[in-house]
């Protein structure tokens, strides 16, 4: 349950990097957390006051969109912030002419994505030693 007032804003790719690193790859460099086509994506941030607490990036390819690098600071996890952000992104995408939304989800997060109507596609795969599933939603 969200206890504070949060706002969602479109942000620059560079603004996502600190949270990407601290949540997804704390043992890697900031440069490791960049995506080669970051500047082509649309990046979203959830702010509590002036503090950025959650980020997500969306990349478009024709009528499909891919969610990448979705992360919420640990001290804000479990408060509904990630759900708020993903709901906002899905609603935004649903208003466009897109037909397909997907992501590579860490297997530990698949039940989170299922809450939004996303379903698992294909077999488990690994990025390093972390198991993933492709999750998708058709509009």
Helix (H, G, I), strand (E, B) or coil at 47: strand
* pLDDT at residue 35 greater than cutoff 70: yes
What are the CA-CA distances from residue 64 to residues 60, 79, 102 (Å)? 6, 29, 8
Length of the chain: 139
Contact assessment for residue 59 and residue 66, using Cβ atoms and an 8 Å cutoff: yes
- What b/e string do you get for 45-64 counting C-beta neighbours within 10 Å, with b at 16 or more? bbebeeebbbbbbbbeeeeb
Q: How far apart are CA 95 and CA 86, in angstroms?
A: 14
Q: Tokens 């942000």 sit at which residue?
A: 11
Q: What is the pLDDT of the chain when averaged over all its residues?
A: 94
- Residues 70-121 have pLDDT tens digits of 999 999 999 999 999 999 999 999 999 899 999 999 999 999 999 999 999 9
Segment 49-75 shows an average pLDDT of: 97
Rg (CA), the chain: 14
> What confidence category does residue 5 fall into, taking pLDDT thresholds of 50, 70 and 90?
confident
CATH number, span 7-138: 3.40.630.30
């Amino acid at each position: 349950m969200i206890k504070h007032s949060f706002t969602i804003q479109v942000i620059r790719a560079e603004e996502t990097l600190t949270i990407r690193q601290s949540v997804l790859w704390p043992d890697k460099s900031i440069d490791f957390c960049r995506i080669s086509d970051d500047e082509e994506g649309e990046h979203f941030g959830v702010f509590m006051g002036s503090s950025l607490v959650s980020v997500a990036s969306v990349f478009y390819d024709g009528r499909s969109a891919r969610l990448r690098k979705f992360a919420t600071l640990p001290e804000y996890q479990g408060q509904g912030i990630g759900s708020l952000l993903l709901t906002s992104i899905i609603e935004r995408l649903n208003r466009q002419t897109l037909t397909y939304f997907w992501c590579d989800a860490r297997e530990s997060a698949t039940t989170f994505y299922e809450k939004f109507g996303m379903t698992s596609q294909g077999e488990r795969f690994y990025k390093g030693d972390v198991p993933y599933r492709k999750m998708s939603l058709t509009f």
